[in-house]
Amino acid sequence: METALIRNTTLILITLLAAGCATVPSGKADPRDPWESFNRASYQFNDSLDRTVAKPVAKAYKKVTPRVVRTGVSNFLSNLNNVRTIVNDVLQGKMKQAGKDSGRFLMNSTLGLAGLFDPASAAGFERNDEDFGQTLGKWGVKSGPYLMLPFLGPSTVRDSLARVPDQYTHPLNYLEDDSTRYTIRAVDILDLRAGLLDLDAQIEKSYDKYAFIRNAWLQRREYQVTDGNVDDTSLELEEGMETDPALDAPSETESQPVESGTPAPPPGG
């Protein structure tokens, strides 16, 4: 199975490289995105996959599954991610936060019935989200160029490499039963996509969906890495760079700030 997966992934990468001459809009290039041609080809692949598979399934899941069940699923998956957060709290020297996140994990794992319920939030244990990419950023490792990964969506060179150690801090990797592990991962992806459905309309209205997702993701990622200690001016694109009109134009309903634990916009829009 692993050999087939590697072969299929290689074929996808070759296809993307062959399509790497995806049209790049005229104008000044974004210095954060030197591989824009490849990234746009990868985005088109992700977008096609999302429209034909992920989005329809997520809509069906949201339609037929009661809200209370979806909330329980989200709570359970979030509780599993707390292990990764605690490890990276320690690696970043946030010992007080590590203690609180440990308390949150223990409370939700016991009183919350393996994380299906979230009594920790009611008790004042706020949800945090830390990963190894944020840890590297905390200790001065630069993000490197923006990278749109096939299947996985927006990232950077730093965050792409950080995915490897992050895998070792997720409890799922220590489950011996493959079917259970794959099922939970599939549900995790489904829950993630269902949670992003409300963003689709905003993305569709943007002048350049690729640029909209890139800019929004990079801004949010910088906010996460710096724990919100970002000057307002640093959230703006560099002077002289072209922006997506949809990013600056006011909408009928103001965009709500994205929580640190909220997933990024979908890879395929």
Give first-to-last CA distance, the chain, whole Å.
Answer: 29
The tokens for 23 are 């049209």
Domain-located, residue 264: no
Q: Which domain holds residue 41?
A: 30-197
Domain-located, residue 78: yes
The tokens for 261 are 């634990």
Handedness of CA 78, 82, 84, 89 (dihedral sign): positive
Nearest Cα to Cα of residue 150 among 265, 14, 259, 3? 14
Nearest Cα to Cα of residue 129 among 3, 245, 224? 224
The tokens for 205 are 């209205």
Per-residue pLDDT of the chain (269 residues; tens, 9 = 90+): 444 444 444 444 444 444 444 567 756 889 999 999 999 999 999 999 999 999 999 999 999 999 999 999 999 999 999 999 999 999 999 999 999 999 999 999 999 999 999 999 999 999 999 999 999 999 999 999 999 999 999 999 999 999 999 999 999 999 999 999 999 999 999 999 999 999 999 999 999 999 999 999 999 999 999 999 876 544 444 433 444 443 444 433 333 443 434 444 444 44
- Give this prediction's pTM: 0.78
Residue type, 55: K
Domain-located, residue 265: no
What is the number of structural domains in the chain?
A: 1
Instruction: Give the start-end residues of each E strand in the chain.
Output: 146-149, 153-156
Q: Residue 171 phi/psi, 5° resolution? A: -55, -30
